[in-house]
């Protein structure tokens, strides 16, 4: 038995990503599991992913934009961003948003694409 340590994925300013299992941490692609901390005011551009992303919010609140809809997801709640959807995450609260993300297949840079109109 061996204790594993997360790999800190290079991320945009305002967010920390710690991958516990996946391509970056263990070089396998079936799934990835990451612990994410997004600081207040953080937002990312619209993306289209080649994986399903399952998210459980542990603390704070995320605003999630999927295709033409938006949803607020608070601590204790979860959601799924299906493969091929245009998705954008944002922390509009005044506290850190903390969540766990499971991606199937595993997250890797070639499996995520910036979408047109990334500011909205």
With tokens 């704070």, the residue in question is 60
Taking 50 as the pLDDT cut, the residues of the chain under it are: 118, 120
Grouping H, G, I as helix, E, B as strand and the rest as coil, residue 109 is helix
What's residue 117's pLDDT? 60
CA distance 108 to 23: 7
Domain made up of 14-114: CATH architecture: Sandwich (2.60)
What's residue 99's pLDDT? 97
- Residues 46-73 as b/e (b if ≥16 CB within 10 A, e otherwise) read bbebebbbbbebeebbbbbbbeeeeeeb
What's residue 84's pLDDT? 96
What's residue 81's pLDDT? 95
């Amino acid at each position: 038995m061996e204790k594993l340590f997360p790999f800190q994925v290079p991320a945009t300013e305002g967010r920390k990503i710690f991958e516990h299992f996946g391509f970056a941490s263990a070089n396998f692609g079936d799934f990835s599991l990451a612990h994410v901390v997004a600081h207040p005011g953080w937002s990312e551009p619209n993306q289209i992913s080649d994986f399903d992303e399952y998210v459980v919010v542990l603390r704070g609140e995320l605003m999630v934009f999927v295709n033409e809809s938006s949803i607020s997801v608070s601590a204790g709640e979860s959601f799924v961003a299906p493969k091929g959807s245009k998705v954008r995450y944002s922390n509009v609260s005044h506290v850190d948003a903390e969540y766990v993300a499971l991606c199937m297949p595993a997250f890797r840079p070639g499996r995520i694409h910036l979408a047109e109109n990334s500011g909205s």
